[in-house]
Structure 1
Amino acid sequence: MEQPTSNTQVDRNLAPHSRDWAWRFWPLVPIYPYGKRRTLRTEIVKDRIWTFDQVQGILYVVVPIRMTVIKLEAGGLLVYAPIAPTTECLRLLQELVDEYGDVKYIILPTISGLEHKVFVGPFARQFPQAQVFVAPGQWSFPLNLPLTWLGFPWKRTQVLPADSSQSPFGQEFDYAILGPIDLGPGKFAEVAFFHRRSRSLLVTDSVISIPEDPPAIVQLDPYPLLFHARDDGFDLVQDDPATRRKGWQRIALFACFFRPSALEPVEFGQSVRDAWKASDRSRKAYFGWFPFRWKADWQRSFNTLRGGGRLLVAPILQTLILNRAPQETLAWAKQVASWPFERVIPCHLDASVAADSHQFRQAFSFLELSSNTPNLPEADFQLLWEIDAFLNKTRLVPPAKEKV
């Protein structure tokens, strides 16, 4: 198995508010880091596969969002799940273009991920010769608008064929389409790509792996890590590797469960009174507002969630999305697991996970009645179950189906 090669590009001489990081369309999806986005490029397979990482988040719960670029055998590049085309991002990509040829194909592998969809139009305009392929079943909210109205180039945007062999890159890639899964006002779908030559599987949101230490892109601005490393609003923390790791692991719990069981909410009025006494009342820290406390056993919750870095389906997808179509999801997972991949490259959290088809298939065992795989602690799912119950009660989404 080919190992990732370290080739992360970081220009530490750039000013903190460099124009190279600017993303002027941030109001379309107004989440952290808003109008400035750093980009890191890492070579995963030498002279063949690269990842481009940026960050995104809410309330300093920041996680990587990732674009993967693959060199085509005939020359040129395929881009899976574009990120914000900042000057820095385009410069790093241009270095590959200069060496390996133009961007030929741009893939949008999801229909519900606005954080992925919003970048495709601006990205495609930077590469006017590239063909754009999108997952079938695209939609928008509150109005279901044509793709051209959403900024996609109409003359060169097309839906991925159901049969991957009918695509112009079918000689190098297989792909499998999950969905669209009906979610009432919206839908969910994902397209997994298998690059045969490198034995690499590219996925968007379906599976993740949680690293023990914060990813490099998250560490470029450590403030979110330090913010969440605090046990409460009065805690003072030092910027060191252990503190950053602590903050990252708590961020992972937040990102996966919204409200993990190791988190103790503080009553709103009390949290406001505490904010007046907090040591850090800067604008960056929400004027000292810190509406929760961490319980002493939070580390155990993280270790259980991480499971040694295994592949897992994010609890949000388990509870609110994929359980609406268990049979369809398992059939898709079986199809993907038929490919002989050796690494998985998700769009979030860990970048290149050494995993095979069995480990991928095992991640979806939560949909099976006969599964012997240990479940995540039920207490951590409490908020997600409450959301699911509300959606069912109001009939906003179809109910979950029985396990297979």
Structure 2
Amino acid sequence: MGTPSRDSYDVVIVGGAIMGSAVAWFLTDLGFDGRILVVDRDMSFEKTATATSTSCIRQQFSTELNVRISQFGAEFVTHLREYMGNDPRVPQLGIRNFGYLYLADTDAFADDLRARAAVQQAAGGATRLLSRDQIARLYPFYALDDIVLGSINTRDEGYFDSMAVFEWLRRQAQERGVEYVEAEVTGIEVTGARVQSVTLSDGTRIACGQVINAAGPRAGHVAQMAGIDLPVEPRKRYSWVFKAEQPLDRDLPLTIDPSGLHVRENGGGTYQAGGHFGDDPAVAFDDFTMDHGLWEAEVWPLLATRIPQFEAIKLTHSWVGHYEMNTFDHNAVLGPHPEIDKYLFINGFSGHGLQQAPAMGRGLAEWLCFGGYRTLDLTEFHYDRVLSGAPQVEKAVI
């Protein structure tokens, strides 16, 4: 249990993984001169959505704003050192552009891919639609009898070192004076429709000018502390890493199979698969139990069906992570609460938060520093839409 050095802060951020750290870093980068406290219940971050993710970035979304958000994410990743003041300690990062390949097995899904591609291309994305024959020529290892169309982008889509990005956001934020404390927030005091303080599990009360909910899969729980109904729940997502007896002769795009399985290149003859099957219920925050039967019953058969070369593979390790699923519209909830003053959201990313952290952290920092957005207008993500029942649906959720 950590102890904050003060009893009052201008900003308290609940959650210190990539979203909370992105907000903290951008606040310091924009010249915010107040005191910032980041509180997280586990500073190892090993069970966070940040640490258990697929660690990839894409622009193939169904809404223009989400495309542009990930475009900035790619720019930030590939120019990380420059954004961080040319600090020589910061690594020069790139994106391994094997791309995402969506496979459609119905005419309706194919039409949906065409509509998404039009949105992506209009925003400057490099999405290409592929016929079954074109997919076969580019990637001859797929079995494609049931496929009618594919969609791929190999520019700024693929793997990046997400943990390096997170580590440097956090490290530089701390070096610039942001205080990180390992503790659990157990209460948020709201008086007269205004946030007054947060309470830690040892009873410590911390007065705050602003509180930011960056609690990932726990975001709904943290919102309830302030009497707010936030439709964000933890949902299990499984990951498996396996080695192929005969590796593919070229990079495997992150392939989104119609079955719900996805699989990508991992390097060195190894590959990473993920997904969920059947019901997708909310789970307990601490439920990371692996269903070991899924590999034999679901995953391996699906892999071998789509890529026959994967009949001879060996599972090397697996893990379970959580999505912070926004059950309302699978999109971010960001910005101020319209009725509770000094309470802000950065939640509900439904599996695409890692790549969106730079733009979302920058946007929320702009709101705090300038009272509005200076770069991307993120207003459509505000909580107002939840209260009014007006979803901004993102269809491209994996």
Give the alignment's TM-score, normalised by structure 1. Answer: 0.25
Q: Which has the higher helix share?
A: 1
RCO (CA 8 Å, sep 6+): is it higher in 1 or 2? 2
